[in-house]
Structure 1
Amino acid sequence: MGSNSAANNGSTGVGRRDLIKRSAALGLISVPTMSFLSACASGGGDDSTDDSQGKTSKSNPFGVQKNSKLDVVIFKGGYGDDYAKAWETSFQKKWGVTSTHTGTQEITGKLQPRFNAGNPPDIVDDSGAQQIPIDVLHKNGQLLDLAAVLDAPSIDDPSKKVRDTLIPGTLDAGMQENKVVALNYIYTVWGLWYSGKLFKEKGWEEPKTWADFLAICKDAKSQGIGGLAHQGKYPYYINVAIMDLIAKKGGLDAMKAIDNLDPKAFVGSEAAQAGVEAIYEVVEKGYLMPGTNGLTHTESQTRWNQYKAAFITCGSWLENEQLKQTPDDFDMKFMPMPLLPDSKLPYEAIRAGSGEPFIIPAKAKNLPAAKEFMRMMLSREWSTLFAKEANSLTIVKDGVDTNVQLRPGTQSTVVASKAAGDNTFRYLYTEWYSEMGTAIENASNELMAKRIQPKEWLKRAQAAVDKQAKDPASKKNHRD
């Protein structure tokens, strides 16, 4: 399972072109040279020092101390943690710094007591179902402002700042009150997934309209196959479908209304009503994969891998998370959310941006090494190590060597990204307002179980928005 994710890119470009250029380098697609958007900036910094502080120099901007120790905690989910072990080996070889490595899915369980005691790790991949919400950590003053890392010289080209080597817009998801406090490292797309093999066998075409999507679900049901699977115990996933439909139906304005806590974000929004009613139609017509509401993410995904459902909603960590459960000839495919009538965004539009937030706690014992570790994460060498081990692209422009071959599902996200061009969007409320996000997920859980109707879902979602809007801190986050 991956992670959820101030947007001065309007959430349209989000570095699409850089992804295309990088994919062309991988030989996956052929595209002409394009100009690139400029990256966003942020200020501030924190240079706490202690016994781990060594001498700074051009090649050692943060003063990494040889023979010091680094405490690394990695969410061991869809991307595993082998990539981090490879990084740590490289780091020790270069700096003589030994790492304590923890790979776990219990981020909150293992780390909350350490944060509370003022003894956090040095660097953390804070992701997964048990993620400690970034906004909560930030409000408690527990996160380092990453400006010093982003403004440091790039390892690959010291004449450039690190931030200028990243895909434009990818820092936005880690911003709180205009400071980057989390580095969302992985370039992610969200949408629907299906088996190319199953579709070929059944004679189904990738559905571009919601009517065509429902037709496939109906045909699947008649053959004893579920139409749509979702990861019922984590309603974050069905919200991928609901929120994508809202954004595509109402355009970027409908999306920004939710992030900006508009009093008509849900109640009074034609797009929101259409989106939630469309998903509820799947429930009402019995097109859900039987039992999906009660399953975890991996349980639902594994049944989908067993051809028990035509579609599933997820982000692009899905392929790597399901490697052991996916048949060799499954031919995993990604597709954009199909269109409702009179949608403002085209079919090719996709939710895209950065995911998997890495943080440096403000009270980390070895801040110099933690900052250098993050700087090295944003090098071509470490980005390529990640692609090899985790079958995914990072936020580093041209960050993957040409000899790395991606698997079918990830390759299909590259094709979808090329087709989308600048037609991308990305919600930020999940990062800014975790309590509101949870309230909307809880409403979706009730909706999928038929305990509430779409009208009540809209009321509950709007109530969550209105409650959040009353918090004075909310005024510090805004999308233009």
Structure 2
Amino acid sequence: MSDTPHLSRRQLLRSAALVPVAGALAACATPAPQTPASTAPGAAKALEVWIFDGGFGHKYATDIHQPLFKTKYPDVAIKHNFTKEITKVLQPRFAGGNPPDVIDNSGANAMDFGALAQDGQLQDLTPLLDMESWDDPAVKVRDTLDPAVIEIGTYDGKFSVVGYVNYIYGIWYSMKAFKDNGWQPPKTWDDFIKLCETIKKSGKMAPFTYAGKHPGYALDPILVTAAKIGGKEILLNLDNLEDGAWKAEALKESATRWAEIGAKYLMEGTAGLDHVQTQTAQNKYQVAMLPSGSWLENEQRTTTPPGFDYAMFPVPDVTGSDKLPHGALHTQPGENFIVPAKAANAKGGMEYLRAMLSKKAAGEFSQLVSTVPTVKGAGEGMQLSTGVKSASDAYAAAGENTVYFRWNAWYLQLKDESAAATGELMSGRLTPDKFLERMQKKADEIKGDSSIKKFKR
């Protein structure tokens, strides 16, 4: 067995309480030989699939992807499973050397991609990119995908994570609520503050909320606002663990402004609520705005009243000298699928992904769960919901002015620290300076820990 103490630190710090055998992954994980590429699953082995049961549910797998797969491989039995607790349920399987064949490794409790990559637990999916696409043998899979899927899904030169959904982040609201009250989506920070004041004084609802139990929702607009002020390099430096990256003046400016939102305009009780509770409060017209991503509309499908009409706007302009123009936003592939290197049917797993990445499957997925997939042209000719249309329009308008960050997937200790620190900032228990000091200290700890593999972009 190889000795990889970094993983026992990383994984046990994160989930020892949930998964007592997590250390076995650190102690016993050795890189597995890569399975040769094939356009067929080989022997008619059963295919075990695990889906994160989050904002998109899991029915899309049983109702769209698996029936399509079975049209070519009717004799392959598919074992379908779903959970909200990916790490808790599946990390012991990796430790035991018997992971499933396909995993939607997503959600707040996703497994650590950086640790999995470091220990050779991810199948190299580069051969998948060079396969014939499911729809058209004249077109390779790689040519059907948004290029960001390949860029962001590559670890140490190997493409190993397939982001299936183009997550588009922003501030979400009800078109009905805004129209009925004569409110306009703000384009500048001054307009944003004026809108918050107007809503607060109206007494009809609170101006703003976020998932208090999951403060990463509030961190996203803080980081995007900082990038608007100081440029894309602000986020690049965070990813690359550059010295003093968290002390950038643009981050201080952004944290200060969002801390003001937390101090003056939050819905009462926000800190104790999770994402579903805050989103449901918005559906009940108890709060006007919240930060989220393009999965929101589908996640709230059962509680959204008729005519609510979701829409989103990008974070507002901050200063007259912002480095990024109005409309800049955070977007990157998410809902991340992997095939474990030690999967019993890795060939079948890649073939399952090939079916998923067909225009037919992605288009039907888009329509079913109201979101924007990463397969090119998947939504063409389909009637879009207001939320998907709003997000798609914002994405198109942003053009090259989009940003993303990867440190939260590479270093989960830093992600966990950021959630705790952001909650303290938004509740007024940390000043912006202390918030940034805390983040910089944790980033420095990770940078100085030679047992943790470092990634760069």
**TM-score, normalised relative to structure 1:** 0.84
- Shift in Å, 1:216: 1.2
Amino acid at match of 1:80: G
Find out whether 1:71 has 2:48 as its counterpart: yes
- Shift in Å, 1:476: 5.2
Query: Counterpart in 2 of 1:366?
Result: 345
Amino acid at match of 1:123: V
What is the CA deviation profile of residues 430-461 of structure 1, one whole-angstrom value per residue up to 9, with x for unaligned ones?
22222212212211011122211111001011
Q: Distance in 1 between matches of 2:346 and 2:91?
A: 19
Find out whether 1:254 has 2:234 as its counterpart: yes
Please identify, of 160-169 and 78-87, the stretch whose mean Cα deviation from structure 2 is larger.
Answer: 160-169
Query: Residues 346, 474 of structure 1: CA spacing in aligned structure 2 closer, same or farther, 3 A cutoff?
Result: farther
Q: Distance in 1 between matches of 2:184 and 2:153?
A: 37
Q: Distance in 1 between matches of 2:40 and 2:86?
A: 27
Residue of 107, 112, 117 corresponding to 2:96: 117
Query: Counterpart in 1 of 2:277?
Result: 299
Amino acid at match of 2:39: P
Amino acid at match of 1:302: T
Q: Distance in 2 between matches of 1:310 and 1:231?
A: 14
Amino acid at match of 1:369: G
Q: Distance in 1 between matches of 2:131 and 2:391?
A: 31
Amino acid at match of 2:99: P
| 1:15-26 aligned within 5 A | none
Q: Distance in 2 between matches of 1:323 and 1:309?
A: 18
CA contact (8 A) 1:171 1:354 kept: no
What is the CA deviation profile of residues 414-441 of structure 1, one whole-angstrom value per residue up to 9, with x for unaligned ones?
1111211121111111222222122122
Residue of 275, 284, 289 corresponding to 2:267: 289
Structure 2: give runs of 5+ residues left out of the alignment.
1-31
CA contact (8 A) 1:320 1:390 kept: yes
- Shift in Å, 1:473: 7.3
Query: Counterpart in 2 of 1:89?
Result: 67
| 1:338-417 aligned within 5 A | 338-341=316-319, 342-402=321-381, 404-417=382-395
- Shift in Å, 1:88: 1.1
Q: Distance in 2 between matches of 1:100 and 1:211?
A: 53
What is the CA deviation profile of residues 156-181 of structure 1, one whole-angstrom value per residue up to 9, with x for unaligned ones?
33233311221122222222223222
Q: Distance in 1 between matches of 2:432 and 2:246?
A: 11
What is the CA deviation profile of residues 103-127 of structure 1, one whole-angstrom value per residue up to 9, with x for unaligned ones?
2212112111211111211100011
- Shift in Å, 1:475: 7.5
Query: Residues 153, 474 of structure 1: CA spacing in aligned structure 2 closer, same or farther, 3 A cutoff?
Result: farther
Structure 1: give runs of 5+ residues left out of the alignment.
1-44, 50-55
**SS across alignment from 1:186:** strand
Amino acid at match of 1:477: F
Q: Which has the higher helix share?
A: 2
**SS across alignment from 2:177:** helix
- Of all paired residues, the percent bearing the same amino acid is 38
Amino acid at match of 1:165: T
Query: Counterpart in 2 of 1:38?
Result: none
**SS across alignment from 1:91:** helix
- Shift in Å, 1:334: 0.9
Query: Counterpart in 2 of 1:80?
Result: 57
Q: Distance in 2 between matches of 1:200 and 1:150?
A: 45
Residue of 448, 451, 455 corresponding to 2:433: 455
Q: Distance in 1 between matches of 2:354 and 2:105?
A: 18
Amino acid at match of 1:406: L
Query: Counterpart in 2 of 1:41?
Result: none
**SS across alignment from 1:169:** helix
**SS across alignment from 1:73:** strand
- Shift in Å, 1:284: 2.3
CA contact (8 A) 1:177 1:476 kept: no
Query: Residues 46, 210 of structure 1: CA spacing in aligned structure 2 closer, same or farther, 3 A cutoff?
Result: farther
Q: Distance in 1 between matches of 2:330 and 2:174?
A: 20
Find out whether 1:446 has 2:424 as its counterpart: yes
CA contact (8 A) 1:91 1:97 kept: no
Query: Counterpart in 1 of 2:105?
Result: 126
User: Which stretches of structure 1, 4 residues or longer, exceed 3 Å deviation after superposition?
Assistant: 45-49, 471-476
What is the CA deviation profile of residues 236-255 of structure 1, one whole-angstrom value per residue up to 9, with x for unaligned ones?
10011111111111111212
CA contact (8 A) 2:245 2:440 kept: yes
**SS across alignment from 1:221:** helix
**SS across alignment from 1:239:** helix
- Shift in Å, 1:355: 0.7
**SS across alignment from 1:310:** strand
Find out whether 1:48 has 2:28 as its counterpart: no
- Shift in Å, 1:217: 1.2
Q: Distance in 1 between matches of 2:363 and 2:451?
A: 39
Amino acid at match of 2:178: F
Q: Distance in 1 between matches of 2:193 and 2:52?
A: 36
**SS across alignment from 1:193:** strand
Amino acid at match of 2:51: I
- Shift in Å, 1:47: 4.0
Amino acid at match of 2:50: V
Residue of 221, 229, 238 corresponding to 2:200: 221
Q: Distance in 1 between matches of 2:221 and 2:433?
A: 17
What is the CA deviation profile of residues 215-244 of structure 1, one whole-angstrom value per residue up to 9, with x for unaligned ones?
111121222321111001111100111111
Amino acid at match of 2:276: T
Query: Counterpart in 2 of 1:147?
Result: 126
Query: Counterpart in 2 of 1:13?
Result: none
Q: Distance in 2 between matches of 1:330 and 1:473?
A: 50
CA contact (8 A) 2:50 2:103 kept: yes
Residue of 145, 153, 159 corresponding to 1:174: 153
